[in-house]
Structure 1
Amino acid sequence: MSKINYHFIGIGGVGMSALAQILASRGKNVSGSDLVENQITKNLQKQGVRVYLGHSEKNISKDIERAVITAAITDKNPEVKGAKKLGIPIITRGELLGELMSEKVGIAITGTHGKTTTSSLISHIFEDARLDPTIVVGGEVRNIGSHAKDGKGKYFIAETCEYKRFFKDIHPDIAVITNIEEDHLDYYKDLEDIKSAFADFTGNVKDGGTLIACFDDENVREVADSFSGRVVSYGIANGGLNYRASDFMIEEGRQRFNVYKNGSDLGVFEIQIPGIHSILNATSCVAAALECGIKIGTIRDSIASFTGAGRRMEEKGEKGGITVIDDYAHHPTEIQATLRAIKSFYPKRKVWCVFQPHQHSRTRMLLNNFVDALTEADEVIIPTIYPVRDTKEDIASVSGEDLSKLLAKKNKASHYIPEFKDVARYLKENAKENDIIVTMGAGPVNEVGEMYLNIE
């Protein structure tokens, strides 16, 4: 049996599968395991990756050179135990990403919100500029049809996450921070702890590197102030910015805006994705692309043709004059921004929001914030909370029904419907022509939209 260069424990996730895909495309022997089969694992098998269903010590052999784990994998995992018994080196996904990025000019995008869309748009621009970048993104870049690509060019574009300080092993040439807010409070103590992690990340930027920072966000400004290297600022609200977006207009399903670089007008840009936050994300991409010498005309055309990232305000279809949109938003700020953006594009249409809370602990800690954010929808349906890293105490502490009842107290039409199939049936019976249904959350709530579109 030939050597297995890398074995991924938890290969079915977006982040792990991206690295597995890149290594397999480079001719490495790759294997991995996950609890369930999904489209990602099926695609990896087509690339020649050996995928085991379920975690078992039997999946680990002495032929494996390195085992790769995610933040969700603990020492109790049987494959981790097996690797340790055989003396197989165990590395994290972040360490592997850092190693791969170190071979090229690294562009790392992070932030509490917007990092997937921003990473996708930067990737799209660099593709259009024919720079053939390597890409690792947390969602499908629709224009390339994948969340990963092993490019032959000199740039490595990667979305990086703050959870458990994942990005501590990344050493980019260019770092982009979109925003910083309270999240992952099952790990971080408070906002100060989160800002400290981001500050440590900026300290990893290579000598002579650049930090592209959203100065509309006071927490990002504070982190940028502690950065010893070159800072490129962008935003909307603040004066003295290196890149400022202004003169917004919504027209024919597109947003138009101007970007000013150090006060000089770079001209009009347009983007197909709604929301002020989308304009902010696009402005950071203009900055990153210009920093790397891409022509402004290419940037402008690329932003205009960008159709978004998978599960980010993604239009899934239409049935009986009712449009179904899916979005990954799972934090109150994201929910509010997404709902406002959709209503700005469709001001005369009723918006249904099917929101599946992601993680009991997050729901409990930000419960009132979720209530405030969801009031942006016209009518809300809450299924069962999707549990992630939750203890028995977390699960007992809050339910989807609790959230729905609090919304009702705010005089918001809200329904707790635990099962997806029942949600789809309710929508079939109650949604009307010209309504919009938005499925929202980091769990599999997108299945509701698919069920609705296929229901007889």
Structure 2
Amino acid sequence: MKLKDIQSVYFIGIGGIGMSAIARWFNQRGVKVGGYDRVDTNLTTRLSLEGMWVHYEDNPRNIPAEFMDKEKTLIIYTPAVPKKHEELRYFQKKKFIVMKRSEALGIISKRHYTVAVGGTHGKTTTSSMVAHLLNQSEKGCSAFIGGIMTNYDSNLIVGGEDAPVVVEADEFDRSFLWLSPNYTVVTSVDPDHLDIYGDEEQMKDAFGEFVKLSGEDGSTLIHHAAAEKINMHLENLYYTYGIDKGDIQAKALRAVNGMFVFNYHGNEVIKDLTLSVPGFHNVENAVAAVRVALDLGMDPETIKAGIASYRGVKRRFEYIIKDEKLTFIDDYAHHPTEITAFLKSVKALFPRKKLTVIFQPHLFSRTRDFQTGFAESLSLADEIILLDIYPAREEPIPGITSQIIFDNITKEQKILCEKSELMEVIASRNVELLCTVGAGNIDQEVPKLKSYYLNKYQIES
């Protein structure tokens, strides 16, 4: 089946952040789009308002007839959906063309010059920065991002037929190996998804295969720390980047009025770049994005303006409340390395404020594998409120609960509670700098917390 022959696409797991971007892309091309998701969310509601058919009961009988012509309908599913899913089994049994999200994204990437940004963390922000910069260029770009870009209030940018494509390359289930990139960026390689890979060495092997996808004629850019970890044989066919380290560097980094200002040093020098999205890790992400933009022909002044106008991604160092009485930041960090980078940046920006962190662990397997790392990273905070594990796709693992993290947190001010008890707990605390952290459904608590503190301190939203 060729893309031009597809008249309808049905997504199983349409509400996922990666799935919804592809659904939007097909929808904007005039293809009939529909799908299933387990729960109704703000994102699925928006997809419905954009003209897509979405339902929430796993029952093939409910699917409209327009998605039942297997000669003209493509079925795309997410690996997070269980194999026993009735709709998935129905389409497979009826011999529809059924593919994973990564396969569909791979087909799209073959048709365009593609920049693929991978990494165990940092890939969403970096890919969104690249997309934002390239969108300021004459050609523009299309972009499939694993988060909602604040500048566009979407996880998708649609450019012209000749525009380059920016893809967030997901390492889960080795999905990034389906892509056909011309330019590959790797932001980080830390142990993760060991339930998929088995051990760290196999994950490093997969990243080695990923960086080879762009070939000798393509370009490869790797964070200096990640380059030491990837099992690859590229010799000198790549460049490294970082803060004061690597072939391309951020130098003269300083915090000014809650923003980071730095100089780019690489194939040329760009002085006084201003990044309103704070975080040392975000400065490194910006360095990579600047290099990609320069390599694709953008001029320094346009890039400088683009970095200044970049507003980040939802749930990536996102300010919920920024007031003298209270600062409230929400972040998606769900790996010890991410949490450490995030909390160090917060403490650098607000060194005199007591830091309270609410953390929800994500996955039983990740909690088991990194329990010590989680405890160490969370101990950077002055006060920790630890929630129960969000299971996502997993069944419980005996003996694995948030307690194993809690017991190893070194700070005395710590509390373990269920999510349903959070608002009661928070009402008993004196909070001046608050961070909600995690990749589960902790984001559901953010509006409640925001409303509580706006009312408590009489802050205008």
- Per the normalisation by structure 2, the TM-score is 0.91
Aligned amino acid, residue 165 of structure 2 = F
Which of 10, 13, 16 is the matching residue for 1:10?
13
State which of 359, 362, 373 in structure 2 corresponds to 1:358. Answer: 362
Q: CA RMSD in A?
A: 1.9
Match of 2:413?
Answer: 413
Preserved CA contact (<8 Å) 1:216 1:236: no
Corresponding residue of 1:178: 187
How far does residue 141 in structure 1 lie from its aligned partner after superposition? 1.0
1:143 is the counterpart of 2:151 = yes
Deviations along 1:373-422, whole A, 9 cap, x unmatched? 00111100011110023234x1x322123322322xx24311011024x2
Equivalent residue for 2:243?
236
| Paired residue type of 1:151 | G
Encode CA deviations 1:210-253: one digit per residue, 9 max, x unaligned. 11111233435x44x51378423222354xx4312222111211
Q: How far off is 1:207 after superposition?
A: 5.3
Question: Is the counterpart of residue 212 in structure 1 residue 209 in structure 2?
Answer: no
Work out whether 1:201 is the aligned partner of 2:210.
Answer: yes
Which of 101, 104, 109 lines up with 2:117 in the alignment? 109
Aligned match of 2:255 in 220, 231, 250?
Answer: 250
Q: Is the 8 A contact 1:428 1:452 kept in 2?
A: no
Q: Return the alpha-carbon distance in structure 2 between the equivalents of residues 117 and 431 of structure 1.
A: 32
CA distance in 1: counterparts of 2:288 and 2:324, whole angstroms: 38
Number of the residue aligned with 1:425: 424
Which structure 1 segments of 5+ residues have no match?
Answer: none
8 A Cα contact 1:4 1:31, kept in partner: no
1:211 alignment partner, SS class: strand
Q: Secondary structure at the match of 1:406?
A: coil
C-alpha offsets along residues 124-145 of structure 1, whole Å, 9 cap, x if unaligned?
1112224331111111111111
Contact residue 251 and residue 263 of structure 2 kept, 8 A: yes
Q: Equivalent of 2:338, from 330, 334, 339?
A: 334
Q: Distance in 1 between matches of 2:352 and 2:142?
A: 42
Q: Counterpart in 1 of 2:55?
A: 52
Q: Deviations over 1:274-332 (max 9, x none)?
A: 22211111110111000100011111111122121110010112588222211000000
2:382 to 357, 378, 395: 378
How has the CA–CA distance of structure 1 residues 104 and 191 changed in structure 2, closer, same or farther, with 3 Å as cutoff? same
Check whether the contact 1:360–1:397 (CA below 8 A) recurs between aligned residues. no
User: Would you say how many aligned residue pairs link Structure 1 and Structure 2?
Assistant: 442
Counterpart of 1:446 in structure 2 is 443
CA distance in 1, matches of 2:205, 2:88: 30
Give the Cα–Cα distance (whole angstroms) in 2 for the partners of residues 48 and 79 of structure 1: 21
Select the residue among 279, 283, 291 that pairs with 2:283.
Answer: 279
When normalised by structure 1's length, the TM-score is: 0.92
Structure 1 residue 66 displacement after superposition:
1.6
- Determine the C-alpha separation between the residues in 1 that align with 2:294 and 2:411: 48
Cα displacement (A) at 1:154: 1.3
* CA-CA distance at 1:43 after TM superposition: 1.3
Distance change >3 Å, CA 335–CA 412, structure 1 → 2: farther
Instruction: Work out which of the residue numbers 19, 23, 43 in structure 2 matches 1:20.
Output: 23
Distance of aligned partners of 1:230 and 1:331 in 2 relative to their CA distance in 1, 3 Å threshold: same
Q: Which moved more, 1:293-302 or 1:199-208?
A: 199-208
Structure 2, gaps ≥5 residues long: 1-5, 456-461
Report the residue type matching 2:74 in the other structure: R
Q: Flag the 1:452–1:320 CA change in 2: closer, same or farther, 3 A.
A: farther
